[in-house]
Amino acid sequence: MASNGAPPSRPPSSSGEDSVPILPLRNSVLFPMSVVPINVGRPRSVRLVEDLLGRERALVGVISQRSPEIDEPTFKELYTVGTIARVVKVIRLGPSNYSVVLNGLGRFRVKNIVALEPYMRAKIERIPESLVRDVELDALGTGLREATREVLQLMPNLPRDTAGILDNVREPGALADLIASNFPQAQASVADKEEILEAFDVKARVRLVLAMVGRQLEVLRVKKEISSMVQEEMGKSQREYILRQQMKSIREELGEAGEDDEIEELRERVRRAKVPADVEKVVKKQLGRMRSMAQQSAEYNVTRTYVEWIADLPWSKTTVDRISVQEVRRCLDEDHMGLEKVKKRIVEYAAIRQLRADKKGPILLFIGPPGVGKTSLGRSIARAMGRQYERIALGGVRDEAEVRGHRRTYVGALPGRILQALKKAGTKNPVLVLDEVDKMGVDLRGDPAAALLEVLDPEQNATFQDHYLDMPFDLSQVMFLATANNRETIPPALFDRMEVIEVPGYTRTDKLGIAREFLVPKQLSAHGLTDERLEFTEPGIATLIDHYTREAGVRGLEREIAAVCRATAVKLAEGNAVIEVVSPEHVEKVLGPHKHRPEIAEHNLEPGVATGLAWTPTGGEILFIEATKMPGKGNVVLTGNMKNVMQESATTAVSFVRSKAGELHLDPEWLKNIDLHVHIPKHGTPKDGPSAGVTMFTAVCSLLLGCPVRSDVAMTGEISLRGRIMGVGGVKEKLLAAHRAGIKHVIIPARNRKDLEDVPQDILDEVKVTLVNAMDEILPLVLEPPRQTSVSTPPPLA
């Protein structure tokens, strides 16, 4: 390594190579003919400066770094062209911290590396400056000087003598270096300035600087134009503000300031709300009326409340949507297990918003049994998209004004729930959940469902008009989500405006996962417990699912988990050192005997009893249909709180059996001397729907033939007098109910084949599904050999 000798006392020649110390610059470029102070604090640079102490006018090579993040660069991290500079002054700022004033002399190129320690040294080659002048170069220099002078005129904060310096520098190359060295860092990066430093040709250098100045000049011109436009627009409002301040001072002198302060505060709130021009016109009129009213009058308070509502509504405030599809999918997976169709639709919406920012908000309707997470989906969607969330409960609402608001002529008038929710959300693009839209009522005060027609129509809700506000409000950016248990009670016109997404019940596997991942941690935290104190095992959770709950959702399961947690919390509160494991035995000890047994195990099917499947607003259910006969005169009795459609299905089933008596090996007049009684247990529950027709037909045939129905078979389907089996709804919910009850074989109409695509594969693996087209296909599948036959003929349809 070379010795650390003193720097040369004379400038290096332009033809030979000289060894000089190298000082790297992190965030700037030193140009020839410029004097710049540089703070030095890095170890190598400090050693270089300390070696220069007392040797002012010594020479040093200054080179910029390619990347400012490197603390101790090598020659590979430096540019190859730098500036040879003379040390003018060294100022000690503190321990290992100096300020060095450097005067740039000329350009050089690094030829050979001499040393890295104790500081960088290299052999350099000086680049002589060309002094040849021609007409083109003079024209470029003049253009550069004029453009720079124009930039200085558009930047009033610069010192006044800056323009005079331009006239003192006559050489175009030196002028370009001077302008580049003083150009702000924000407008010219180190790489841009280094490109100018490496431009040895004077014309090329002037062109580079001229282009840089031209870009800055264009930016300043546009900035000035924008500033002028803004000043013109704000001129009127500023004049109004000054006049109001003067009026305020006059009223203060007259002792009338209190009345005006409130009006001015309302005016300022409306201004900050950035209301549309037509709304601002209405507000000005109302504020003008308030000036002529007494503050104690009722009309003054009504008008003030009206203006306050206008000021508080989010006319222009929105939240920025999170448009990352991966982030939306991650948030939905964190909060909900399963529900793939719902998640897929939300991800699709996020993808469309990612491609088109002006897409209107969708209106989704989640239909499903209670406890499956319909309402909580709205909160998850809002979190996933970065929007505000509000919920509007519509169950039991009977007044149209709850949606559209009351007219201001009424005492105590208020806007409707839609605008109230937007005020709470504070933005005009929140996620609004309209909960229980199927439970709205109708009375003399109007139909709230009809009032929702405009709210939930994407083509109309951009101009939604609340009766209280009496002016349009844009709801097109709101993402509406509605929930319902029963689609039958939703008015058709309202139902048509929404995109329906079925949210079915959970399978046993889903419930195990939900309990393990969500419900158990939530309840442990809510009861002040940890999994070290109370450990839920999978068999214990399975016992809660199988024997203590019977539901499509998980609300009851969460209550039972909470009951187990409470028992442990009581023991801990009493001072006992409790460490418990939730096993099936522990569950039975805490909750008592099993509340539910498999429904198929509850009975031993006799002839005349068949198992059907029904859909209810709370999910699928097992439905037992019983038939018996007694001496009589041919009457058919139907009991079990059946409604009209189900009674017609029972009548159709009996009529079909009578019409096919010969094929079933029955006496054609078998109903002549008996009365037939068809019954459905659970009298307190109203029952309706056509899907029990197949089950009623099977029960009647089983009774008359003396053949019991297989206990592990359930069925559903609508029948016709021609013997056809027509499709039904709620197939997925019915199959889930059959699986919960232990059914191994389910018979459904062939027309419902497409519905099997929505059924989880683990259900189809455990439950055999048979598709049938006609009623004569059913009996061979469901009947067992007769135990005691009342007729002498063999079983039908062998």
pLDDT digits (tens, 9 = 90+) for 521-537: 999 999 888 888 888 99
Mean pLDDT of the chain: 83
123 is annotated as an active-site residue: no
Q: Residues with Cβ < 8 Å from 211, sequence gap 6 or more?
A: none
CB 709 within 8 A of CB 611: yes
Confidence class for position 254, pLDDT limits 50, 70, 90: low
DSSP character at residue 445: T
CB 218 within 8 A of CB 250: no
pLDDT at 691: 85
CB 506 within 8 A of CB 517: no
Sign of CA dihedral 498, 500, 505, 511: negative
**Alpha-carbon distances, residue 343 vs 331, 339, 415, 587 (angstroms):** 10, 6, 33, 34
744 is annotated as an active-site residue: no
Confidence class for position 2, pLDDT limits 50, 70, 90: very low
Residue 439's CB is within 10 A of a number of other CB atoms, namely 17
Residue 280's CB is within 10 A of a number of other CB atoms, namely 17
Q: Is 161 buried (19+), middle (13-18) or exposed (0-12) by CB count in 10 A? A: exposed
Q: Does 166 have pLDDT greater than 60? A: yes
Indicate whether this model's pTM tops 0.95: no
Q: Does 256 have pLDDT greater than 60? A: no
**Could you tell me the two tokens for 769?**
């599904």
* Active-site entry in 193, 687, 732, 734: 734
Q: Residues with Cβ < 8 Å from 282, sequence gap 6 or more?
A: 310, 471
Mean predicted confidence (pLDDT) in 383-391: 88
Q: Which residue has the tokens 């009795």?
A: 637
Collapsed DSSP state (helix, strand, coil) of residue 642: strand
- Give pLDDT tens digits for 175-230: 888 888 877 776 778 888 888 888 888 888 888 888 888 888 888 888 888 877 76
Question: 293-310 burial by CB neighbour count: b if 16+ within 10 A, else e?
Answer: beeeeeebeebbebbebb
- Give pLDDT tens digits for 606-618: 888 999 988 877 6
**Phi, psi dihedral angles at 676 (to 5 degrees):** -105, 130
Mean predicted confidence (pLDDT) in 579-597: 87
* Active-site entry in 19, 691, 702, 732: 691
Confidence class for position 600, pLDDT limits 50, 70, 90: low
Q: Residues with Cβ < 8 Å from 623, sequence gap 6 or more?
A: 611, 612, 613, 614, 680, 687, 692, 695
Q: How many CA atoms lie within 13 A of 309 on its CB side?
A: 25
Confidence class for position 790, pLDDT limits 50, 70, 90: very low
Q: Residues with Cβ < 8 Å from 124, sequence gap 6 or more?
A: 12, 17, 18, 19, 20, 61, 82, 84, 108, 109, 110, 111
- Give pLDDT tens digits for 72-120: 888 888 999 999 999 888 888 888 888 889 899 999 999 888 888 888 9
Q: Does 399 have pLDDT greater than 80? A: yes
